[in-house]
Structure 1
């Protein structure tokens, strides 16, 4: 389970985030490309834009559920 106290610093504020457990597998960036991107120098993903519509919310949730190391969190689902 993602730890909101261990969020990657690049995450924009809001509901979804990625924590330091990210292994840079690319699943979230493929699943929700409008919301997740890669910190190239650091080698992990983060949320660069919070979802703005139902499709993006669903894609972010799908990415969270598929994350192999549970590095994606949703503050709205605690």
Structure 2
């Protein structure tokens, strides 16, 4: 389970975030490309834009549920 205390600093403030368990598998970026991107230097994903509608929120939730290492959380600050 993702830990809010371990989220990457690049994550924008909001519900969804990626923490330091990320293995850079690309699943979240493929599932919700409007919200997740890659830190090329660090080799991990992060949330660069919080969902702005129900469709984006559903894709972020799908990415979170599919994350093989549970590095995506949804208990970030609103």
Range class of TM-score, shorter chain: over 0.9
* CA displacement 1:17-71 (0-9 Å, x = unmatched): 0000000000000000000000000000000000000000000000000000000
Point out where structure 2 has 5 or more consecutive residues left out of the alignment. Answer: none
What's the TM-score once normalised by structure 1's chain length?
0.96
Distance in 1 separating the partners of 2:39 and 2:9: 10
Q: What residue number does 1:50 align with?
A: 50
Consecutive unaligned residues in structure 1, runs of 5 or more:
none
Aligned to 2:29: 29
Identify the residue that residue 15 of structure 1 maps to in structure 2: 15
Task: Find runs of 4+ consecutive structure 1 residues off by over 6 angstroms.
Answer: none
Q: Name the TM-score, length of structure 2 as normaliser.
A: 0.96
Counterpart Cα distance in 1 of 2:8 and 2:23 = 12
